[in-house]
Amino acid sequence: MLSYLDAIILGIVEGLTEFLPVSSTGHLTITEKLLGLKVDDPGVTAYTAIIQLGAIVATLIYFRHDIVRLIVAWVQGLKGGPAREAHDYQLAWAVIVGSIPVGIVGFLARDLISGPLRSLWVVAGALIIWSGAMWLAESRYAMLERHDRTRGEGAVTLKDGLFLGLVQCLSLIPGVSRSGATISAGLFRGLDRVTATRLSFFMAIPALTAAGLFQAVEESSNLELLGIGQMAVGIVVSFVVAYASIAWLLKFVAGHKITAFVWYRVALGVVLIVLLGAGAISAT
């Protein structure tokens, strides 16, 4: 059974890293290992997914006006007429279509994700390798920006949503980072950083909600062993910390490149490889 201190620590880690491009699953895996938990245990894996619900509630509250706006635009657009030409209608469809691939892949590969991929070797490698992808994304964005070919939220298309959704599937690998994958994909498509980040947040809602609820149902017996009260504490803590993280990240990306996170990712990956290679820690 988790202690309440463990639950608080994991909640803080989840809230801090869920929306930053540093991989929340990777950081949770590392933290669980340091806390002496078995990282590939079904109950621990389920707990990792379920405390994400706190971060999702933070997203729902922070973007509540945008969410209502998009839902209204989508419903009106379904009725036909000029509403279908509104950019909010297109944006809503981009989020919906972009959320489908990760749901399908996550369901089909659920045993792989909760088992073999829950290894610190995988986390270390993914942290370093995806850092290269983030660097390339910023390089492409810089080229598009020089030619005045970047786009804002009003120009998001269905193809943008599908592309981000396909790339988001890679975030099922611990260490890649869901936000790191989707923001990078947005930059590759020429979306400005704030638009790519906001779209990443919008796409997080269905993806993480589905993952958390599915794990809660599938691993309900294992979760009882971890402690219902501890789970509740983890969710609440992750909500509070995630809300602050969302506000900070939106301000940060308005004036900084996402490559600012690359050095941290690479350094953490290298440290993990050294510790694993020296036998100081085990991979699972």
User: Which residues neighbour 188 within 8 Å (Cβ) at sequence distance 6 or greater?
Assistant: 136, 137, 140, 141, 163
pLDDT given at position 82 = 86
pLDDT given at position 48 = 80
Confidence class for position 219, pLDDT limits 50, 70, 90? low
pLDDT given at position 43 = 75
Whether the CB-CB separation of 24 and 14 falls below 8 Å is answered with yes
CA dihedral of 270, 51, 102, 218, whole degrees rounded to 10: 120
Q: Residues 28-43: pLDDT tens digits?
A: 988 988 898 887 777 7
How do the domains of the chain map onto residue ranges? 4-278
Q: How far apart are CA 82 and CA 222, in angstroms?
A: 51
Q: Residues 239-257: pLDDT tens digits?
A: 999 999 999 999 998 889 9
pLDDT given at position 49 = 77
pLDDT given at position 222 = 65
pLDDT given at position 61 = 95
DSSP 152-199: -GGG--HHHHHHHHHHHGGGGSTTS-HHHHHHHHHHHTTB-HHHHHHH
Confidence class for position 209, pLDDT limits 50, 70, 90? confident
Q: What is the mean pLDDT of residues 266-283?
A: 92
Q: How far apart are CA 161 and CA 177, in angstroms?
A: 18
Q: Residues 9-63: pLDDT tens digits?
A: 999 999 999 889 999 888 998 898 889 888 777 777 778 878 888 998 999 999 9
pLDDT given at position 221 = 66
Q: Residues 69-105: pLDDT tens digits?
A: 999 999 999 988 888 889 999 999 999 999 999 989 9
Confidence class for position 227, pLDDT limits 50, 70, 90? confident
Q: Is the pLDDT of residue 157 over 70?
A: yes
Q: What is the mean pLDDT of residues 111-135?
A: 91
pLDDT given at position 211 = 75
Q: Is 246 helix (H, G, I), strand (E, B) or coil?
A: helix
pLDDT given at position 110 = 83
